[in-house]
Amino acid sequence: MSRVTHRAIASQVALSGAFDYLLPHSFRVDGSKDFKRRIVPSHLRPHLVVYDVGGGARPCIDLETKRRLKLTIVGMDVDDQEFVKAPIGVYDKTIVSDIAACELEGIADLVICKSTLEHVSNTEAALNAMGRILKSGGTLLVFVPSRNALYARLNSVLPENVKNGLLSTFFPDKAGHLGFPAKYDRCTPRDFRKFLSNQGLEIERLNTYYSSSYFSVVFPLYVLWRLWIVTYRALAKEQAAETFTIIARKP
């Protein structure tokens, strides 16, 4: 990317960020950061057995925290090469598997799944598998983009080469991480509530978020999107979420 292009994009992002301060705080919370910086740490205790589903190269718990709390962290991912990129020593064990096909039962105190379920073909099966992995009294933490988000709709219809080209142009630092094919199978608050309740898990909290950076690189488009999301939330409530987190407990 040329310096001119980089400056032009940076100026658009800055304008978009400034515009956001005209909106209520609830529209400005970054769900991904909130999940990793607040929600996950608030559920960590010494000596927990933690399964990080889909963490791969980007585990949700850092090495210093793992060592300080003496955690046992098991990573699960469909791609063994993702584990090669992970910080050395962060995983005590790695499992290369599709989470929906996992048959492990009752072995984890905490299961964490961040920005992964949008890529699986059957989210109900994946959530059922994660519920089975939990011990009685264990907790499930899930963060996922919603299929109702405008960027998710675009992601579903645009060809992969077009999406990857746009990501490389406007988000070069994130292109490798954001460029995985996504299916968004029933990735909505309503569906996830139903799946977990049917499994017998107790939903302790569902947090919805209405912030995204995808359109921030073109300020006029960002303004239109923000006006849309404010209207959509007023009409559809939590179903209008861009992303959401579910915290559930296994009795």
Using one digit for the tens of pLDDT, what is the confidence trace for 71-127?
999 999 999 999 999 999 999 999 999 999 999 999 999 999 999 999 999 999 999
pLDDT at 15 over 80: yes
Order across the sheet with 93-96: list the strands. Answer: 93-96, 72-77, 49-53, 108-114, 134-145, 243-249, 202-209
Per residue in 148-177, is it b (16+ CB within 10 Å) or e — as a string? bbebbeebeeeeeeebeebbeebbeeebee
Reference 113, options 216, 98, 80; nearest CA is: 98
What is this structure's pTM? 0.91
How many angstroms separate the CA atoms of 87 and 84, rounded?
8
How many angstroms separate the CA atoms of 181 and 218, rounded?
23
Q: Residue 213 carries which DSSP code?
A: S
Reference 187, options 223, 239, 225, 138; nearest CA is: 239
pLDDT digits (tens, 9 = 90+) for 25-81: 999 999 999 999 999 999 999 999 999 999 999 999 999 999 999 999 999 999 999
Beta strands in the chain (DSSP E): 49-53, 72-77, 93-96, 108-114, 134-145, 202-209, 243-249
Is residue 36 within 8 A of residue 62, CB to CB? The reply is no
> What CATH architecture does domain 3-249 belong to?
3-Layer(aba) Sandwich (3.40)
Q: How many CB atoms lie within 10 A of CB 82?
A: 17
Would you kindly state where each structural domain of the chain is located, as residue ranges?
Answer: 3-249
Q: What is the pLDDT of residue 182?
A: 84
Q: What is the pLDDT of residue 213?
A: 86
Q: What is the pLDDT of residue 164?
A: 63
Apex 236 CA angle, 232 and 240, nearest 5:
60
